Homo-oligomer: A and B are copies of this chain.
Amino acid sequence: MKTVSENRAFGGVQGVYAHASAATGGEMTFGLFLPEGAEDGPVPLVWFLSGLTCTHENAMVKSNAQRWAAEAGVGVVFPDTSPRGQGVADDAAYDLGQGAGFYVNATQAPWAPHFRMWDYVTEELPRLLFSAFPLAEEAQAITGHSMGGHGALTIAMSFPGRFKSVSAFAPICHPTAGDWGRKQFAAYLGRDESAWAAHDSTLLMRKRGFDGPMLIDQGTSDQFLDHLKPEALAEAMAARRQGGTLRMQKGYDHSYFFVSTFMEDHIGFHAKALYG
């Protein structure tokens, strides 16, 4: 693992690191904020999974998560959204290929060799983080934006007990039924839709739910509401009697201005679960 950059921020350190990844068969880059308290011992970790077109950098520089993570004494990791580089398949569309990994393990050509973001985010990167940094493996929470909200919700529900809390900003809630999902799942996972269900938050909510607090924010002026389908997840949460809060935020869109506005609430929400 090599250090790309380290900047002091809010009394802690905002680092960017790169490493050879067995899961994706190439070099992966991630951002990690460690609060001042990490100098004295392991701190809890909040995962922030990013959305379409993003790298590790967007939320790291735009969300201001560090301000609230420093106050709460938690670390935040910002993984990339796909494998990248020479020899990695791509597509001209912004919503397929590089920058659009959808947090799945691709089984289809040409994606299968590198697009294994599920394994990367749920196995390889955790192993690296907990061995190389002062982070407490028993104190994890997860959140994300848009495609990353989809990742956070599906991963949280798939690893019971791993995450104390889950939240999401404008997540893709029902990808097997929408334009942000059907195309990508067909490309990455194949035409057999039975393989898709493990990566759909609404279907996972119907089947198993999440054993812990859940917070979802969605802007009412989001230009992608038709793709996100919060109504499907809302219905599934209510039907299941899942504990959790879904907030429809009047006038907010899909941008990082929306994310940064509510980041304080999300980090505070996770800190309460992690320290509570």
Shortest CB distance A192–B (Å): 40
**Does A211 reach chain B (CB closer than 8 Å)?**
no
Chain A residues close to B by CB (< 8 Å):
7-11, 14, 61-62, 64, 66-67, 219, 221, 251-253, 255-258, 260-261, 264
The 7 A-B residue pairs with the shortest CB-CB distance, nearest first, are A9-B257, A64-B64, A7-B257, A8-B251, A8-B252, A10-B261, A7-B255
**Interchain CA distance A92-B64 in the complex, whole Å:** 33
Contact of A257 among B8, B251, B255 (CB under 8 A): B8
Q: Which residues of B contact A221 (CB under 8 A)?
A: 8
Contact of A260 among B11, B64, B257, B258 (CB under 8 A): B64
Chain copies in complex: 2
Q: Are B257's CB and A14's CB within 8 A? A: yes
The dominant DSSP class at the A interface is: mixed
Q: Are A253's CB and B8's CB within 8 A? A: yes
Q: Are A260's CB and B9's CB within 8 A? A: yes
Q: Which residues of B contact A253 (CB under 8 A)?
A: 7-8
Q: Residue on B with the closest CB to A63?
A: B64
Q: Which residues of B contact A256 (CB under 8 A)?
A: 61
Shortest CB distance A191–B (Å): 38
**Interchain CA distance A219-B9 in the complex, whole Å:** 11
**Interchain CA distance A67-B10 in the complex, whole Å:** 15
A-B contact pairs, 17 of them (CB 8 A): A7-B257, A8-B221, A8-B257, A8-B258, A8-B261, A9-B257, A9-B258, A9-B260, A9-B261, A14-B257, A61-B61, A61-B256, A62-B62, A64-B64, A66-B260, A67-B260, A67-B264
